[in-house]
Structure 1
Amino acid sequence: MGELMGRAVQRVSHEHREMAAERLRAAAGDGLISIDELDRRLGTAFLAVTFADLDAVTVDLPPAPLEVVAAAASRRVLRLAVSNGSVSRFGEWEVPGEIELQLEHATSTLDFRVSEVPATGVHINVQAFRSRVRLLVLPGTYVDLGSLGRHRSTVADRHGRAGSSRELHAVRLTGDIRGGSLRVLRRPYQLF
């Protein structure tokens, strides 16, 4: 009971509000709620501060299909581009459904150990030239490197496991690395 109460008072992000809005739109499309009710509930959802606020407008609806959740998460794209420098995300940060990583003579570290990865996972499109990329993930996280192009580059995930890119919270990489390296490091989160 305390655990459920704790979630109810936790603050929601833009992604949580958008997922609730997609769920409401799907319900209106299925004839479960009227257009007027949709407008009223959407207004409340976009002003939500806590999970309790979101639950108030979605509690009487069936669970959202994974496709609706995926559509909401995949709309957000984070573009990280640098030449002759570095770009990193450490600690707690808002992980979108898609990241465009463009590097030239640069380094990048993306830390996924603390932040909440969308349930449908994150897709990273890498375009790196003579650059170094490090991904920090928790042990057991599935990282799909199968569609990543490697041209005179080193790609390493020493403790990776077999799995499917459709797994929840998976990290999927596409694009090309030319004359550089990509390492997946699987370490528990430690404060420095």
Structure 2
Amino acid sequence: MTSLPEDSPPLIRDNDRDTAVGRLQEAYAEGHISHEELDERLHQVLTAKTRGGLQSALASLPEEDAGTTSTIAVAGGRIKRRGAWRVPRILKVESAYGTVRLDLSRAVIEHPVVDIELQLGTGGAKITVPRDAIVEFEDLQTGWKDTRYKTRRRPRSGGPRIRISGTMGFGRLKIRHARR
């Protein structure tokens, strides 16, 4: 078995690279960097092998707006959001007993990445995401039932990335894409 040297730099994950590309595009759209500088920095991000390479491509950019963090918490009962509601950058949902229904299909999503952190005791959760959303839930720990999610056959680009994490005790998470 071969081991890596302890001083080897950490490798870059795909979502780290995607986040860096998003920051560069945002900086260009806001007029902080020129078109030529965008091209140069994008090349640097796409060819970077380490986090240091990513950081040097993002150097001198304005601080990233982390967006808002909101928490919805109930001891027991139902949590339900649907229609045209504004989705924060980070949404924390906490419930000891009860169900959670989040419909993001007509929600106002202003961030390219939305983190939903679930802390649920008993009761299930159902999340409806936009048709073009990319869903990640590898960081979600379930205690009793597996998550149900059927990926789209033809994924569309340009939609928000919805990252779901946290813990669920006794209940199932169902994720589906909106039909319209």
TM-score relative to the length of structure 1? 0.57
Indicate yes or no: 2:161 matched with 1:170: yes
Structure 1 residues 185, 85: CA separation in 2 closer, same or farther (over 3 Å shift)? Answer: same
Instruction: Please name the residue that 2:52 is paired with.
Output: none
Over the aligned positions, Cα root-mean-square deviation in angstroms equals: 3.5
Q: Distance in 1 between matches of 2:153 and 2:160?
A: 14
What are the residue-to-residue correspondences of 1:24-63 with 2, within 5 Å? 61-62=32-33
Q: Aligned partners of 1:92 and 1:126: how far apart in 2?
A: 21
More strand by share: 2
**Residues 134 and 182 of structure 1 are in contact (CA less than 8 Å); yes or no, is this contact kept in structure 2?**
yes
- Uncovered stretches (5+) of structure 1, i.e. residues with no partner: 1-25, 27-54
Among 51, 63, 76, which residue is 2:68 paired with?
Answer: 76
Deviations 1:31-52 (A, max 9, x none): xxxxxxxxxxxxxxxxxxxxxx
Which runs of structure 2 are paired with 1:2-41 in the superposition (5 Å)?
A: none
Separation of aligned partners in 2, 1:86 and 1:174:
20
Would you say 1:130 and 2:101 are equivalent positions?
no
Does residue 1:149 correspond to 2:141, yes or no?
yes
Q: Alpha-carbon deviation of 1:141? A: 1.7
Alpha-carbon distance in 2 for matches of 1:94, 1:140: 18
Structure with higher helix content: 1
Shift, 1:113, TM fit: 0.8
Q: Does 1:112 align with 2:90?
A: no
1:185 to 172, 176, 179: 176
Q: Which runs of 5+ in 2 are unaligned?
A: 1-26, 39-57
- Secondary structure, counterpart of 1:85 in structure 2: strand
Secondary structure of 2:64's aligned partner: helix
8 A Cα contact 1:142 1:160, kept in partner: no
| Paired residues, number | 132
Percentage of matched positions with identical amino acids: 18
Q: Contact conserved, 2:115 with 2:163, CA < 8 A, in 1?
A: yes
CA contact (8 A) 2:132 2:159 kept: no
Query: Could you tell which deviates more after superposition, 93-102 or 148-157?
Result: 148-157
Task: Give the Cα separation in 1 of the matches to 2:176 and 2:111.
Answer: 21
Structure 1 pair 75–82 and aligned structure 2 pair: CA distance change class (3 A): same
